[in-house]
Amino acid sequence: MRRRLFAWQLLMLVAIFGVWQLLTQPGLVPPIVWENPDRAAFFFGEPIRIFKVIWAWFTEGAIYQHLWVTLQETALAFVIGAALGLAAGLWLGLSPTAAALLDPYVTAMNAMPRVVLAPIFMVWFGLGIWSKVALGVTLVFFIVFFNVYQGVKEVSPVVLNNTLMLGANRRQLLRHVYLPSATSWVFSSLHTSVGMALVGAVVGEYLGSARGVGYLIQQAEGAFDINTVFAGILVLTAFALVLDFAVAQAEKRLLVWRPGQSETEQL
């Protein structure tokens, strides 16, 4: 069943690129839409040329140094942002007084458009990887923070009271009750967080960098090379899917205690 579903998904992807290629061919779209028959290919690119760019990048090795830089920035932003979000979520979830005191400040910082911080981070940290990491951290932090905070607040009172009756101290409660509850919420947010870490890295590269996939896209856009722009977008999309798959595999290994869907239905 899974192979059949994958086959249909692959067929749909091929169909999308096939239709895209056909619609960008000169003379196919009526002239009332485009005065110049080559205008469609100029604005939307051609999949064949896009894949030629990607093929040249990987066969000639030009893309690897840029992918490595983007991977470093994404991984650092993801790990640091997730760790800070986990720590802050646990702290405020277990400290009602601190949560009430800091609530307006957390809300205000979350409402702030983080992208506008990119120029400030470049002034503070320079044009190296750390300005991109800082931007990515601000995007990841709040996603993980709110999920962990909600996970701690929604710990079952029955489980909590039973654990206290068994004589558990605060450290044991944190390890055996609060952390397992928060972990489920953390992994539900990490699939989004890894994408946001990548967004922060690429946006930072786009605004100011000498390396990275975002830098390649920015250079291609400056030259009006739409095929290279789409090539960069496709590479980033595949890159994000690989990172999301890695998070999914880590989730399966760390949450082996959580019942699957079939087990839940049987219960």
> What are the pLDDT digits (tens) for 233-250?
898 888 888 888 887 777
Cβ(203)–Cβ(214) under 8 Å?
yes
**Topology of 47-254 in CATH?**
MetI-like fold (1.10.3720)
Q: Which residues, 6+ apart, have CB-to-CB distance to 179 below 8 Å? A: 90
More confident of the two residues 254 and 248: 248
* pLDDT value of position 95: 81
Other CB atoms within a 10 A radius of the CB of residue 127 amount to: 15
What mean pLDDT comes out for the span 67-82? 89
Asked if residue 172 has pLDDT above 70, the reply is no
Which of 121, 15, 139, 128 minimizes the C-alpha distance to 77?
A: 139
**Average pLDDT, rounded, for the chain:** 79
8-state DSSP, 117 = G
Other CB atoms within a 10 A radius of the CB of residue 177 amount to: 19
How far is residue 153's CA from residue 179's CA, in Å, rounded to a whole number?
12
How far is residue 239's CA from residue 218's CA, in Å, rounded to a whole number?
18
Extents of the domains making up the chain: 1-44, 47-254
Residue with the two structure tokens 């699939």: 191
* pLDDT value of position 264: 42
Q: Does pTM top 0.85 for this prediction?
A: no
Asked if residue 94 has pLDDT above 60, the reply is yes
